[in-house]
Amino acid sequence: MLLPEKALTLFGRDAFGFDVSGSDFDVFGPDFDVSGPDVMTPQGNGTVSIPAGEETLMSRIADLDSGRAIREHEFRAAVGCYASGLTVVAALDEMGNPAGLTCQSFSSLSLEPPLILVCIGRRSSSWARIEPTGRFGVSILAEEQQEICAAIGRSGGDKFGSIDWHASADGAVHIEGALATINCRISTIHDGGDHLVVIGEVMGLTVRDAGAPLLYFRGNFGTGAS
Ligand SMILES: Cc1cc2nc3c(=O)[nH]c(=O)nc-3n(C[C@H](O)[C@H](O)[C@H](O)COP(=O)(O)O)c2cc1C
């Protein structure tokens, strides 16, 4: 089963010292109590219990018919229910150094021509180094790559120092052991509010023939394991 109803394995925050509070990817937000007994109960051992009943997180939050503005933590809680895989978007910058960020918001877009898209926060210093090069690589992460995901999802510092990676001939950076890699030329960049919608023209691919994905759901990492 993708994500068990009763126990979701948590990585990130404590295990890797990765604090998503206040970041773009703190799904629940700093002021949102996810510890209510009717929602999820931290077990102190890296898991939370989720009651088997019908009550969900959404039932406690936004009344979207009330006409009031949608609060940030409500928005995060709702969109965080969309489970996704995780990728690393990375390239050699103009100095020849690896630059990259963890990116949940990846999607295939078009088959003819082959296009993908990623949504990049406008404040990303990594993207500011990637964009001028005109190309990037997307590495689709495998289940055993949570630490890599957290390391490259942090802002600043030497993100690649302790990670196995290599650069392709065209300057895309690939994470070793990824399920697949996709080399892109930046095609167009569109306004997406506080993000950029970056469309990449696919120039090359590698695909591993086995392996399970690293997943992201309600602000936590998980795996496809039952
Ligand atoms: C699980 C996870 C998913 C993320 N997904 C995205 C994303 O889709 N788009 C984005 O711009 N940043 C995303 N981030 C945040 C960036 O990876 C991070 O903010 C970025 O590295 C900013 O640091 P920088 O300034 O060094 O680029 C994600 C972070 C994590 C941990």
Residue 176 domain flag: yes
DSSP per residue, 67-124: -SPPPHHHHHHHHTTS-EE-EEEEEE-TTS-EEEEEES-EEEEETTTTEEEEEEETT-
pTM: 0.78
Residue 197 domain flag: yes
**Mutation pick for ligand 1 pocket among 124, 148, 163, 223 (CB with most ligand atoms within 8 Å):** 124
What letter does residue 149 receive in the DSSP assignment? H
Residue 72 domain flag: no
Taking the CA of residue 20 as reference, the ligand 1 atom at the shortest distance is 31
Residue 193 domain flag: yes
Q: How far apart are CA 141 and CA 148, in angstroms?
A: 9
Domain that holds residue 142: 84-216
Residue 3 domain flag: no
Q: What is the CATH number of the domain that holds 93?
A: 2.30.110.10
- pLDDT, tens digit, 9 for 90 and up, residues 23-67: 444 433 333 333 333 333 334 443 444 444 444 555 555 555 566
Distance 155 CA to ligand 1 centre (A): 8
Residues 25, 26, 28, 32, Cα dihedral to 10° = -150
Overall average pLDDT of the 14-30 stretch: 37
Residue 76 domain flag: no
Number of domains the chain is built from: 1
Q: Look at residue 127 in the predicted model and tell me its pLDDT.
A: 98
What is the separation of C-alpha 194 from the centre of its chain, rounded to a whole number of angstroms?
Answer: 16
Indicate if the alpha-carbon torsion angle 129, 133, 139, 140 is positive or negative.
Answer: positive
Residue 12 domain flag: no
What letter does residue 172 receive in the DSSP assignment? B
Distance 141 CA to ligand 1 centre (A): 14
- pLDDT, tens digit, 9 for 90 and up, residues 143-197: 999 999 999 999 988 899 999 999 999 999 999 999 999 999 999 999 999 999 9
> Which two tokens mark 98?
């690896």
Residue 17 domain flag: no
Residue list, ligand 1 pocket, CB within 6 Å = 24-25, 86, 101-105, 119-121, 124-126, 149, 153, 155-156, 216
Taking the CA of residue 106 as reference, the ligand 1 atom at the shortest distance is 8
- pLDDT, tens digit, 9 for 90 and up, residues 101-138: 999 999 999 999 999 999 999 999 999 999 999 999 99
Nearest to 56 by CA among 26, 22, 23, 80: 80
**Mutation pick for ligand 1 pocket among 103, 120, 154 (CB with most ligand atoms within 8 Å):** 103
Distance 225 CA to ligand 1 centre (A): 24
